[in-house]
Structure 1
Amino acid sequence: MDLALAFLTAVAIGAGPAAMGAPLSWHGTFGLGVILGGLLLVRRRRPLLVLVLSAATLVGYQTAGLFEGGAVWPLSFALFTAARSRPGWAAAVGTLTLAYGLAMQGLDAPEALARGGVELLWLALVSTAASSWRQYGRWRAEHQARILQLEQTRLVEQRLIISREVHDVVAHTLAVVGVHLNVAVEALDDSPEEARAALRTAIAVRNQAMTDLKAFVGELRDVPQHGLESVAGLVSQAEAAGLEVRYDSAGDPDAVPAAQALTAYRVVQEAVVNTLRHSDAGRLAIRVQARPRALEVTVTDDGRPAAGFTEGHGLTGMRERVTALGGTLRVDASKGFAVQVVLPLTDHVTGLMP
């Protein structure tokens, strides 16, 4: 996709003005198209930087008199990408570039004003499209996260049902086997055949119980468990929703017990969902540090402060999980949304199960 957009930008900037009668030269339109198209190859990693560099390049070509084909539309893809995560900055860069382009053409020229009005409308259209795409991406990521949570809830309920069935099978088997063993013991001297029949029945019941238990255990093994390695999937979901995400991981995640790893995953998942639902943030930072005696998880965004913030069911459930493992959870909504969790990895909690 990035390669296709880069090629389309290079061709449009190079051939577009030429189709309108402007001269085509390597140092002019074609060179500008190659530069702006090449910058688009890294637009996902540094969207705002790509937009600023593209705008500076365009302004430079306009100042040198090498390009007069437009002040905004050559930046369309860079503007769209940056507006998804940093709409305010993208609008500011686009407006300043447009104002400079109009000033270069002369504000007293009717043709320049007409062209400026068209490009201003195009800037608004690109910004609106980026905002709509951003909201759609957030809705989609939130929807997927909620579906995953419902699926995990269903799996937990399924495990509870299976555990009850296992309990019933074991209790029934022990009771039946116990009865037949007692019969065998009492009949061993006086009626060996009756004792053998009782033992054969006990063996048959035991074999049937083992078959049922293997089936139940197989179902339990098929239930997926998330850990620290699954955080990368949450990062991808957030990026797909239009957020600029920075993910840092330190330490040895494989050394973290399953209970703490699953809880850390749930913390990050709930924090990402909260950012998508309740924040206008454009950037999200996730940091996971696996220290020798503690696992630290920090999730922050740059959204606006939330007045009168109260914890919902998601944060309450998250706090209960963390507390059950002897950890601490702090939530700060005064500057964006921040969640910090510390889970001890000491001997008295490593054996706990989620």
Structure 2
Amino acid sequence: MNSLAQSRWWARLADPALALSTAVGIGAGPAAMGAPLSWHGTFGLGVILGGLLLVRRRRPVLVLVLSAAALIGYQSAGLFEGGAVWPLSVALFTAALGRPGRAAAVGALTLAGGLVLQGLDASEALARGGVELLWLALVCAAANSWRQYGRWRAEHQARLLQLEQTRLVEQRLIISREVHDVVAHTLAVVGVHLNVAVEALDDSPEEARAALRTAISVRNQAMTDLKAFVGGLRDVPQHGLESVAGLVEQAEAAGLDVRYDAEGDPDGVPAAQALTAYRIVQEAVVNTLRHSDAGRLAIRVRARPRALEVTVVDDGRSAAGFTAGHGLTGMRERVTALGGTLRVDADKGFSVRAVLPLTDDVTGLAP
């Protein structure tokens, strides 16, 4: 089981657990404080709010609004008096990960409505409102801290990957120089001895055979050296389409609601195109985390018979002032080297679309 599958398995386990704990807490919490347990009151509200949490990842703001509406409805009917904010804690936290402003606004309006419905005097309203407002601020602050940590972690991992690629490029340059030196030396020495063998073949066959033996020996030594150098290259890990799942996991850990669709046969995609597709998704995710302030991210990779299509779109705000840096420039160079097309749009968040022809007859692609 890969890391993305493990993350989603834990998410599927966590959501029912949070839903159950919310339902039990809302249903039995007031009873623990001495309030009567009502099956159509506190228990019913707990079931509603807990059930809504099962879809909190798909529609976090909608879940929060519906939960707030249910809470206010039960309060207006006199069926629940346990609080106006804490029953919404999980829904508030989830919505604040992607839309902190909207989550805080819904929480504040729910608190104000709850205080009005309870008919408290000024001193009681101030005391209870202050406590619940503090709880609202703590939940929003915790969500903001978690979101910032996730984005820092994603950016940190992206920087580590860039450093790794830089180190690999330097390593390959060193190896390429070594290979060049070995090949150049071998060709020069073998060429000299072949010329000697040709000239001595008729007059001195023994001298010709000695020259040929020396050429063969030099050639064998060169092959041994080249195998050692090429072996170092073979040990270098390369990212492909299967590595996109790791980028999805990083984006989800940063608080984004990610939808990843993969179509076609990834095994039929050449290594150069697969690596370029991975780099495109990686750079797009980093740009979304750094500049877009998005809540959702859609990644789509389609492996067609003759082309590989990569689309990454988020729902963030406009990034009109954004200028392409080394990452986007490198992305465009990779796509161009493969004969593909790339389109980057920052008018409404970030939108990246690339089409890569599926052919192995492409050279000059940097690692």
1:317 aligns with 2:330: yes
Matched, 1:351 2:362: yes
> Paired residue for 2:219, among 188, 201, 206?
206
Deviates more, 1:317-326 or 1:269-278: 317-326
Structure 1 residue 141: Cα displacement: 0.6
SS in 2 for 1:309: coil
Give, as a single letter, the amino acid of the residue that structure 1 aligns with 2:323.
T
Which whole-Å deviations, capped at 9, do the CAs of 1:46-68 have from their partners, x for residues lacking one? 43344334334433433443321
Query: Paired residue for 1:227?
Result: 240
Which SS does the other structure have where 2:79 is aligned?
A: coil
Which runs of 5 or more structure 1 residues have no equivalent in the other structure?
Answer: none
1:151 aligns with 2:151: no
Q: CA deviation at 1:107?
A: 4.8
Alignment TM-score, normalising by the size of structure 2: 0.83
Q: Post-superposition shift, 1:128?
A: 1.9
Deviation at 1:35, TM superposition (A): 4.7
Q: 1:294 aligns with which of 291, 301, 307?
A: 307
> How many residues of Structure 1 are paired with residues of Structure 2 in the alignment?
352
Change (3 A) 1:38 1:204: farther
Tell me the CA shift for residue 16 of structure 1: 3.2
After superposition, where does 1:173-192 map in structure 2 within 5 Å?
173-181=186-194
Deviations 1:179-219 (A, max 9, x none): 45555666678777766665554444333333322222221
2:240 is the counterpart of 1:244: no
* Aligned amino acid, residue 245 of structure 1: V
SS at match of 1:248: strand
**Structure-2 change in CA distance of 1:77 and 1:218 (3 Å):** same
Matched, 1:254 2:262: no
In terms of mean alpha carbon deviation, does 23-32 or 330-339 score higher? 23-32
Aligned partner of 1:132 in structure 2 is 145
**Partner Cα separation in structure 1 for residue 161 and residue 173 of structure 2:** 18
The CA distance in 1 between the partners of 2:111 and 2:301, in whole Å, is 42
Residue by residue over 1:214-239, the C-alpha shift from the partner in whole angstroms, topping out at 9 and shown as x without a partner, is 22222111112222222222111111
1:39-188 correspondence runs (5 A):
39-108=52-121, 110-181=123-194
For 2:302, the aligned partner's letter is Q
Q: State the alpha-carbon separation in 2 of the partners of residues 228 and 286 from structure 1.
A: 12
1:16 equivalent in structure 2? 29
Whole-angstrom distance in 2 between the partners of 1:156 and 1:308:
32
Of the candidates 189, 211, 218, which is equivalent to residue 231 of structure 2?
218
For 2:98 and 2:152, the matched residues in 1 are separated by 15
Name the SS for the 1:281 alignment partner: coil
Q: Does 1:339 align with 2:352?
A: yes
Residue ranges of structure 2 left out of the alignment (5+ in a row): 1-9
CA distance in 1 between counterparts of 2:363 and 2:69 reads 57
3-state secondary structure, aligned to 1:238: helix
Q: Which amino acid aligns with 1:54?
A: S
Superposition deviation, residue 151 in structure 1: 0.7
Partner of 2:282: 269
Indicate if the aligned counterparts of 1:247 and 1:285 stay in contact, CA closer than 8 A: yes
SS of residue in 2 equivalent to 1:245: strand
User: In terms of mean alpha carbon deviation, does 7-16 or 65-74 score higher?
Assistant: 7-16
Q: 1:150 Cα deviation (Å)?
A: 1.7
Identity %: 87
Give the Å deviation of 1:75. Answer: 1.3
CA contact (8 A) 2:194 2:215 kept: yes
120-129 or 24-33: bigger deviation: 24-33
* Aligned partner of residue 341 in structure 1, secondary structure: strand
Q: Which amino acid aligns with 1:21?
A: G
For residues 54 and 24 of structure 1, the distance between their equivalents in structure 2, rounded to whole angstroms, comes to 20
**Paired residues of 2:252 and 2:258 also in contact (CA < 8 A):** yes
Q: Could you tell me how far apart the structure 1 residues matched to 2:345 and 2:161 are?
A: 26
TM-score by length of 1: 0.86
Contact 2:338 2:362 in 1 (8 A): no
**Structure-2 residue corresponding to 1:330:** 343
Specify whether residues 350 and 52 from structure 1 end up closer, same or farther in structure 2 by C-alpha distance, changes over 3 A only.
Answer: farther
Separation in 2 of the partners of 1:40 and 1:207? 69
CA distance in 2: counterparts of 1:309 and 1:68, whole angstroms: 49
User: 8 Å contact 1:14–1:30 — kept in the other structure?
Assistant: yes
Q: CA deviation at 1:279?
A: 2.2
